[in-house]
Amino acid sequence: MNAIEIEVPAIYEEDIKRILNKLGILEEITQGKAKCFICDKKISLDNFGGVVKIKGNLKVLCDDPICIETAIEITEALKGSE
Ligand SMILES: [Zn+2]
């Protein structure tokens, strides 16, 4: 079972909304309840960078390249440990 996947959304807002809705986190983001799991910044549709799934838990990322890079490193490290 592959527990880790990264989805990087398309640049169009409608696509992002559709993806977030599919993931079940659209409301969390539009209500301002979602935070980047790396830097703890509040996530909106404007700074949504992607999601990573770590052991079945969905983590939201902002669009900061450092956060995305760090998230990829974490998932790679977890992959190696499994
Ligand atoms: Zn961040």
pLDDT tens column, 29-41: 999 999 999 999 9
- pLDDT by residue (tens digit) across 61-82? 999 999 999 999 998 898 876 5
Distance 77 CA to ligand 1 centre (A): 19
**Domains: count for the chain:** 1
Domain membership of residue 55 (yes or no) is yes
Q: pLDDT at residue 15 above 90?
A: no
Residue 53 lies in a domain: yes
Range of the domain at 22: 6-81
Residue 60 backbone zone (phi > 0: left; psi -120 to 50: alpha; other: beta): beta
pLDDT value at residue 57? 87
CA of 38 to the centre of ligand 1 (A): 5
Mean pLDDT of the chain: 85
Where does the pLDDT of residue 3 fall: very low under 50, low under 70, confident under 90, or very high at 90 and above? low
Q: Is residue 21 in some structural domain?
A: yes
According to the model, what pLDDT value does residue 55 have? 83
- Structural domain contains residue 1: no
44 CA to centre of ligand 1 in angstroms: 11
Which residues 6+ apart lie within 8 Å of 70 measured at CB? 38
